[in-house]
Amino acid sequence: MEADIVAFLGELHPETDFSKSQDYVSDGLLDSFDLVSLVAMIEDKFALFIDALDIVPENFASVDAIAGLVRRSGGGA
């Protein structure tokens, strides 16, 4: 799942090295439009629904945070 998340991030911003950041949102690597796009990609790929209340910056701070969100939303391991 983490590899898929890394691929999604690369699709959103191929010019960005996300591995150098510990908080994608605080560091300005992802904005609100990116979060909406990322949620759509995740929901489509993992056939799940992410509640709007879960679309908060801390759930998109890192690959691990995003993977945790996917798991809590019913996505596979």
pLDDT > 90? residue 77: no
67-76 CB contacts, 8 Å cutoff, 24+ apart:
67/1, 67/2, 67/5, 69/42, 70/1, 70/5, 70/42, 70/46, 73/46, 73/48, 73/49, 74/46, 74/48, 74/49, 75/1, 75/42, 75/46, 75/48, 76/1, 76/46
Q: For residue 24, what pLDDT is reported?
A: 97
pTM of the model: 0.92
CATH of 2-72, one of 3.30.420.10, 3.30.2350.10, 3.20.10.10, 1.10.1200.10: 1.10.1200.10
Q: For residue 20, what pLDDT is reported?
A: 93
Chain segment 18-66, per-residue pLDDT in tens: 999 999 999 999 999 999 999 999 999 999 999 999 999 999 999 999 9
Q: For residue 76, what pLDDT is reported?
A: 66
Bigger pLDDT: 44 vs 77:
44
Q: For residue 17, what pLDDT is reported?
A: 95
Give the residue extent of every domain in the chain. 2-72
